[in-house]
Structure 1
Amino acid sequence: MNQPTGGAGALIRQSDTRPALLGVACGVGAALFWALGFVATRHGLKVGFAPPDLLMHRFLWSGLAFLPIVVRAGLGDLCGIGWGRGLALMVLGGPVMSLISYAGFLFVPLGHGSIIQPSCATLGGLFFAAVLLRERISPSRLAGAIVIVGGLAVIGAESIGHIGLTGVQGDLIFVLTGLMFAGFGTLLRSWRVSAFPAAAVINVLSLSLLPIYAATGGLARVAAIGVGENALQAVAQGILAGPAAMYLFAFSIQRLGVARAAVFPAIVPALTLLVGWLLLGEAPTMLQAAGLIIVLSGFYLAQRQR
């Protein structure tokens, strides 16, 4: 069979490259938005927000924006996703996972959550892709996973040696939420759920929690904190770290596959520590920096093809 040559071959290579580059761009964008969400969460807890307050900002505004779209597309089958699958995505990538994650920052510094959760999302994504989706995991990616585990061990050592039992508890919370998010990404790929319906359905289903939040006095609590702080959380949680990041990540999964897209959460730690240092003044400790360097080395190996 003749191979394409000259201009035709270049066009084919270009058409093959563009979707991959778009997937990479979306993955990096999602990582940046998640990093901003981590920093905003830490800031919000410092100024008096409780985890349910941040959860309200995370899902209320985007849920209201997506509601007309979901209603027009059909509530009966939730935009074609189905109620069973929609609820599963809501638990793994929606308010349940987010609330657990917010609580973790009550026990450990920003550096712990921002490193452990994305790293475990990467490890879980690689594992689920291999076991459940039968995607091939290259030796380099396997080596990267092992290196990432080493970086997490360094972070865990700081909790044991300097923070104590509460630190270990906080770290384990972020291990759990990282694995939950890995499961979310795997289901998106397995069920072939497109980015926009997934984001819309999760945020709309999350509106069902608003009556519970209001009944427990949440609205009065956030009103007392002030308009400026609430506006900050609405943008950071409700737009950037919420539907925008979810859409970009889901789009990257569709273009690159679960195993390749799973490495993008691993760049969140560096972005989070940098932004947190600049905006919150929380400089990373030596152990956090060492763990970050190891994790980033693992990320480099995990994104290689061989």
Structure 2
Amino acid sequence: MNEPTSGADILSRKSDAKAALLGVACGLGAALFWALGFVATRHGLKAGFTPADLLMHRFLWSGLAFLPVVVRAGLGNLCGIGWGRGLALMVLGGPVMSLISYTGFLLVPLGHGSVIQPSCATLGGLFLAAVLLKERISLSRALGAVVIVGGLAVIGAESIGHIGQSGVQGDLIFVLTGFMFAGFGALLRYWRVSAFSAATVISVLSLVLLPIYAASGGFGRLAAIGLAENALQALGQGILAGPAALYLFARSVGLVGVARAAVVPAIVPALTVLAGWLLIGEPPTVLQAAGLVTVLTGFYLAQRQR
């Protein structure tokens, strides 16, 4: 016979259900904020910002906010990460990668960068997990990688057939930045550095670029564009796509676990394409939509454990 369920068991199940629901909500929030960051980038470039201007908005505000945290934790060894590792992470997942990515959006539509970069990050992550971290890649994940490559080929066909050389260059830029971010993620796992620690250190290190930006006349360009557009980029780049998305994603991992939270980056392309259509009037083409559906199928297979 089944033993009667106690009140404590019922409360525990309700608590677990609430935590899982909150974890899902946090994950969706992180994905939405990252998607809005992509859309803000595309809009900002159309509004007259340069990639360097967007880079300033992306890292200046978070760098100033996190500076006291890093100083208290220890600037000498960068919160225990170390200067060598911190600089490597800064290149692969910080301003260097971001600047290259912003440049790509000058060459191709939103639907290309928002799909190709996360897809190549997934492909690179699977490869590095097998080679660097010695993880076993399941048949489902290997099949997912093949399907993702097929989706990327569909999107690449649009660049070759309709956009031309600049389109191919833009797509290759997002291939590069996707693999750079994969290297960033692999090093975080290999060195056992938390995402929050990495984000704080990268943001603070990025402040060293501020004098160079000022000397190039960057603040004059920002003033010419206007307060409203700058406030929009400060929100989209410096808050939503940066600290806010990172916090929500870390919270999701803590509530539902790494495996379930790993689905979050997979839904960013779809949310980006939808937000780009609704907010800045960039509907996906037939080939972009076909590539997106194919890539999402590959994401689903790549997230499975078997």
TM-score of the two chains, using structure 1 as the length reference: 0.89
Tell me the residue number matched to 1:44.
44
Q: Secondary structure at the match of 1:242?
A: helix
How far has the Cα of 1:127 moved from its partner?
1.4
Tell me the residue number matched to 2:291.
291
How far has the Cα of 1:207 moved from its partner?
0.3
Taking the aligned partners of 1:154 and 1:131, their CA distance within structure 2 comes to 28
Question: Match for 1:228: what amino acid?
Answer: A
Residues 168 and 295 of structure 1, relative CA distance in 2, 3 Å threshold: same
Residues 250 and 101 of structure 1, relative CA distance in 2, 3 Å threshold: farther
Matched, 1:73 2:73: yes
How far has the Cα of 1:184 moved from its partner?
1.0
1:147-166 to structure 2, matched below 5 A, reads 147-166=147-166
Tell me the residue number matched to 1:183.
183
How far has the Cα of 1:265 moved from its partner?
2.5
Q: CA offsets, 1:237-271, max 9 Å, x none?
A: 001112233444566678855x8765533321100
Gaps of 5+ in 1: 1-5
Tell me the residue number matched to 1:234.
234
1:19-168 to structure 2, matched below 5 A, reads 27-168=27-168
Question: Match for 1:219: what amino acid?
Answer: F
Taking the aligned partners of 2:120 and 2:237, their CA distance within structure 1 comes to 21
Deviating more after overlay: 22-31 vs 189-198: 22-31
Is the contact made by 1:78 and 1:201 (CA closer than 8 Å) also made in structure 2? yes
Q: CA offsets, 1:63-94, max 9 Å, x none?
A: 00000111111100111111111111111111
Residues 302 and 108 of structure 1, relative CA distance in 2, 3 Å threshold: same
Taking the aligned partners of 1:266 and 1:177, their CA distance within structure 2 comes to 16
Deviating more after overlay: 65-74 vs 9-18: 9-18
Residues 111 and 165 of structure 1, relative CA distance in 2, 3 Å threshold: same
Q: CA offsets, 1:208-254, max 9 Å, x none?
A: 00000000000000111111110000011001112233444566678
Is the contact made by 1:125 and 1:262 (CA closer than 8 Å) also made in structure 2? no
How far has the Cα of 1:132 moved from its partner?
1.1
Tell me the residue number matched to 2:209.
209
Residues 172 and 21 of structure 1, relative CA distance in 2, 3 Å threshold: farther
How far has the Cα of 1:28 moved from its partner?
3.8
Tell me the residue number matched to 2:264.
264
Question: Match for 1:198: what amino acid?
Answer: A
Is the contact made by 1:145 and 1:298 (CA closer than 8 Å) also made in structure 2? yes
Is the contact made by 1:60 and 1:203 (CA closer than 8 Å) also made in structure 2? yes
Matched, 1:277 2:277: yes
Is the contact made by 1:30 and 1:249 (CA closer than 8 Å) also made in structure 2? yes
Q: Secondary structure at the match of 2:225?
A: coil
Gaps of 5+ in 2: none
Residues 123 and 203 of structure 1, relative CA distance in 2, 3 Å threshold: same
Question: Match for 1:185: what amino acid?
Answer: G
Tell me the residue number matched to 2:173.
173
Question: Match for 1:305: what amino acid?
Answer: Q
How far has the Cα of 1:195 moved from its partner?
2.8
Is the contact made by 1:188 and 1:194 (CA closer than 8 Å) also made in structure 2? yes
Is the contact made by 1:194 and 1:250 (CA closer than 8 Å) also made in structure 2? no
| Alpha-carbon RMSD | 2.6
How far has the Cα of 1:188 moved from its partner?
1.2
Q: CA offsets, 1:94-133, max 9 Å, x none?
A: 1000000000001000000011001111111111112211
Tell me the residue number matched to 1:244.
244
Taking the aligned partners of 1:55 and 1:280, their CA distance within structure 2 comes to 20
Question: Match for 1:244: what amino acid?
Answer: A
Taking the aligned partners of 2:29 and 2:181, their CA distance within structure 1 comes to 17
Taking the aligned partners of 2:211 and 2:137, their CA distance within structure 1 comes to 44
Taking the aligned partners of 2:17 and 2:83, their CA distance within structure 1 comes to 36
Tell me the residue number matched to 1:3.
none
How many corresponding residue pairs?
A: 301
Question: Match for 2:280: what amino acid?
Answer: L
Question: Match for 1:73: what amino acid?
Answer: A
How far has the Cα of 1:31 moved from its partner?
2.2
Residues 119 and 188 of structure 1, relative CA distance in 2, 3 Å threshold: same
Residues 116 and 15 of structure 1, relative CA distance in 2, 3 Å threshold: same
Residues 123 and 10 of structure 1, relative CA distance in 2, 3 Å threshold: farther
Is the contact made by 1:119 and 1:265 (CA closer than 8 Å) also made in structure 2? no
Is the contact made by 1:121 and 1:265 (CA closer than 8 Å) also made in structure 2? no
Taking the aligned partners of 1:9 and 1:260, their CA distance within structure 2 comes to 24
